[in-house]
Structure 1
Amino acid sequence: MKKEKIQLKGITWGHTRGFVPMVATAQRYEELHPEIEIVWKKRTLQEFADKSVTDLAMEYDLMVIDHPWTGHAAAQKMVIPFDDFLPETFLEDQRENSVGESYASYNFEGKQWALPIDAATPVAASRPDILQELDVLLPRTFDDLLALAQKGRVGFSLLPIDVLMSFYMFCCSSGEVPCQNDEQVVREETGVRVLKLFKSLADHIDERFYAKNPFKVFEDMTQHDEIAYCPFAYGYSNYSRQGYARKLLHFHDLVALKAGDEPMTSTLGGAGLAVSSQSKHIDVAVDYARFVASPEIQETLYVENGGQPGHLRAWKNTQVNALTANYFVNTLPALERAYLRPRYDGHLHFQDHAGDVVVHYLKNGGDERAVLAELNTMYRESLAWEGVHG
């Protein structure tokens, strides 16, 4: 009698970068382990950020997750800590070869709740052909950026979640790391300056970008010939690969706020692979996760199938960079500087709502101090939320 295959179900997000490398690695893993079948499903980028890991863990064995869910996942014990299942030598290699804080972003209360298979932070993107036509150099400072924006040639995501990440970026780049005490997101002086600076740029961005996530910005840049430069959006190496889109994008480090400053500090993103504690086949799921996160797969099968690896060896690999117009070596400094945002359980409450407040200000103007007061109230609620729900 033929033995029934072990089937694992996985959930990721619905872009080439999120879905295709998981299908490719699952296919190869099945070829090496014919008794196992791994089926990947996809959700939208918004669902990726919003849907509770607790809910997903009831349905799926494997989950590609956003690191702000780490605190919630740890509190609910709905995903397994890899420390209890993988050799210390493997995890040490992952730690030593972390792209920026990618590995640490899934470590909470001393345990590793996901493996960093994907690394990203907001970086700059350009259409070199359009800049050349305009006889404009790549922007180096915020003033350069503003000048290009005033010509209608700049676009970036103005969705609430991305606006909040950009607000954090402006704060970090202005010398203050957000969310360092229990009372306020940032000091009023910093917050007022940052909001005014952000609005001075947003005032020159077409309204359509209030409805576009980062990869929709890149689609806009590659399908049309209007936007020459995106100053900050979570990078997608797919658009720097020949044949992926109508036009090729080049990716760069961020501009500096002022000449002589180091480039801006953006807010770390990326994705991790987690295993549900509810899975009937935890050992198999862990072994597949180890396979995907291994340096050998990360710098070959994973990246060759549209993935954006989380292992440093892949980012420094000459062939990988040749495939992607040097996306990885050009943007690595931005990853290494990137700010690791809060991951305590209640911070998701803040993250879900704070961006709306900043978006309203960017669109309509208003009193910066009132905006900050509203953010601070939400922030304190999120800390209390953790105390009640954590």
Structure 2
Amino acid sequence: MTDYIGLTWDHPRGRRALEAASGDLGDGDTLRWEVQSLEGFESAPIDELAQRYDLLVLDHPHLGDALSTRSLRPLDELFDSTQISRWADGAVGPSISSYRMQGRLWALPLDAATQVSARRRDLVPNAPKTWDEAVDLAESGLVATSVAGPHAFLSLCSVVVSLGDDPGHAGAMFDRPIALRALDILTSLSQRAPEGTHGLNPIALLDRMRDRGDIGFVPLVYGYVNYSSDSVAFGAPPASDGRVGSTIGGTGIAITRRSEPSARLLDHLAWLLSEPVQRGFIPQHAGQPGLRAAWTDAEVDAAAHGFYSATLATIESSWVRPRLPGYIPFQSLASAAVRAVLAGARRPDDALDEIEERFALLQSTPIPLEQKEPA
């Protein structure tokens, strides 16, 4: 008999379905969930959390640190290859591939999300299709940018992807001319944003859009199906020459090294990722499923006011962040540098120089190859 403890993030999308499904797993095993803030989910040290919990709901950029500290169990040692192949074939976008490293799977893609646009239907009847159109709309004072915490850097990455760059995959973090152009776009948008919006995380930003009515459009913000309604619509971000850029987020459930998962716990996790549960139980409990079958289900989409059909193409083409040891603090530092540029407190070239220097240091720390546990 084992009492398992999991850690998820404190929002209905992150906790309600997991809590509703927890409790008695059978044969005396139980599972309960504790929660942390969105900011904790984005930045808390994964090795420390892994010492206290059996299950962790995490984002894929934590994998570099998790593998370097051997904090997680590889799931291919716990689930058979046929099951993993079914999940890989069924996951929406790069939701499951973002949790693969060193040829192994480290988390199950319970929840899928990426940066999309959000608008108030009454204030912005037609979403801007290009960055030029978004900048023009910003003159009205109705456009807010998601730049709190790590999101300034993530927004920059998404804009550069839309402009044709592939961040971090050619040695350097950015193509410099493209990054300068992207910073100029974000600066033009941010300088005209409604007062007090720069410090809001995505949840608070969407709360304000829904409740106060002074935000008409956010060009890049992580999609939350919970806010899709008759008044708030989600869709593709602005594009450049038809190319959309978006940085995938979402969450996966990982099993820590401290845990000795029983067959009942593994069956429970497989149940959460089963197609009927992803199409029924998860969306019925405020969740945002990770399987394409749920995203393409007409009833699920209709109940979500068209959220899934409007954002499916965006998540399918979304960009996956680097997964290197030390990436999370790098992301925080890079985001602070971007915010300084947006506020006019720093030259764009100087900020990009620092980001590139830090990224070069990041790449100099290799991840140790995973070794199988001795028999």
Same topology, TM > 0.5: yes
Equivalent position of 1:235 in the other structure: 223
In 1, the alpha carbon distance for the partners of 2:146 and 2:161 equals 19
In 2, the alpha carbon distance for the partners of 1:327 and 1:23 equals 24
User: Is 1:354 the equivalent of 2:334?
Assistant: yes
What secondary structure does 1:123 align onto?
A: strand
Asked if 1 retains the 8 angstrom alpha-carbon contact of 2:114 and 2:318, the reply is yes
Q: Of Structure 1 and Structure 2, which has the larger fraction of its residues in helix?
A: 1
Asked if 1 retains the 8 angstrom alpha-carbon contact of 2:117 and 2:234, the reply is yes
Runs of 4+ in 1 over 6 A off after TM superposition: none
**Any unmatched runs of 5+ in structure 2?**
371-375
What secondary structure does 2:258 align onto?
A: coil
Deviation at 1:211, TM superposition (A): 1.1
Give the 5 Å matches for 1:32-43. 33=26, 35-43=28-36
User: Is 1:98 the equivalent of 2:78?
Assistant: no
Give the 5 Å matches for 1:79-98. 79-98=72-91
Look up the equivalent residue of 2:164 and give its one-letter code.
Answer: G
Give the 5 Å matches for 1:1-390. 6-27=2-23, 30=24, 33=26, 35-132=28-125, 137-182=126-171, 184-240=172-228, 248-257=231-240, 261-386=241-366
Look up the equivalent residue of 1:180 and give its one-letter code.
Answer: H
Asked if 2 retains the 8 angstrom alpha-carbon contact of 1:253 and 1:263, the reply is no
In 1, the alpha carbon distance for the partners of 2:128 and 2:140 equals 13
**Any unmatched runs of 5+ in structure 1?**
242-246
What secondary structure does 1:158 align onto?
A: coil
Look up the equivalent residue of 2:232 and give its one-letter code.
Answer: L
Deviation at 1:365, TM superposition (A): 4.7
In 1, the alpha carbon distance for the partners of 2:224 and 2:86 equals 25
What secondary structure does 1:211 align onto?
A: coil
What secondary structure does 1:232 align onto?
A: strand
Give the aligned CA root-mean-square deviation in angstroms: 2.0
What secondary structure does 1:131 align onto?
A: coil
Deviation at 1:284, TM superposition (A): 3.7
In 2, the alpha carbon distance for the partners of 1:76 and 1:113 equals 13
TM-score normalised to structure 2 length: 0.93
TM-score normalised to structure 1 length: 0.90
In 2, the alpha carbon distance for the partners of 1:186 and 1:138 equals 28
In 1, the alpha carbon distance for the partners of 2:295 and 2:128 equals 24
